[in-house]
Amino acid sequence: MTIGIIVHSKTGHTLQVAEQLKASLSKAGRPVVLVRIEDKPDFDSFETLVLGSHTEGFALAAEMAAYLNALPSKALNQKKVALLITHAFPLHAMGGNQAMSGFKNLVEKQGAKVLNEEIIDWSRPGRDRQIEAAVGRMAGKL
């Protein structure tokens, strides 16, 4: 069944990582669709999901949080989900960890099983290697 990569990206950073993940999964022969939350994707058409967003301060972007909170109760019930956060700072502890914790809580309240969590520190030296490693880990768990 198709993997849905569903993202909210303000600056394009989260979308860039999602596109790399899509390319990796496609190369491995996995059916995958990349959709922005603004397009209101239908979760029922996906067995597995990757949800991606940037942070705002120490929290998940308000748009992604609002989107998830507006879903019907248990909309993600029994879905396998991987989570992706991008943030501007060089260390996870500068907002990424807190945002990921809130992100994970939101999807687990909807009944999802979180398979993987990845945080990309955008201003960290070696960011491209960090992205490549995160994409590899996610692809391996989906």
Q: Could you tell me which CATH number the domain at 48-125 has?
A: 3.40.50.360
Q: Would you state the pLDDT for residue 74? A: 81
109: which 2 tokens? 């309240």
Q: Would you state the pLDDT for residue 107? A: 94
Total-model pTM: 0.94
Q: Would you state the pLDDT for residue 43? A: 82
Q: Is the CA virtual torsion 22, 10, 106, 45 positive or negative?
A: negative
62: which 2 tokens? 């308000």
Neighbour tally for 112: CB within 10 Å? 24
pLDDT truncated to tens, each residue of the chain (142 aa)? 799 999 999 999 999 999 999 999 999 999 999 999 999 888 888 989 999 999 998 899 999 999 999 988 888 888 999 999 999 877 677 778 999 999 999 999 999 999 999 999 988 899 999 999 999 999 999 9
Widest pairwise Cα distance in the chain:
41
* Three-state secondary structure call for residue 63: helix
Give the separation between CA 37 and CA 41, rounded to whole angstroms: 7
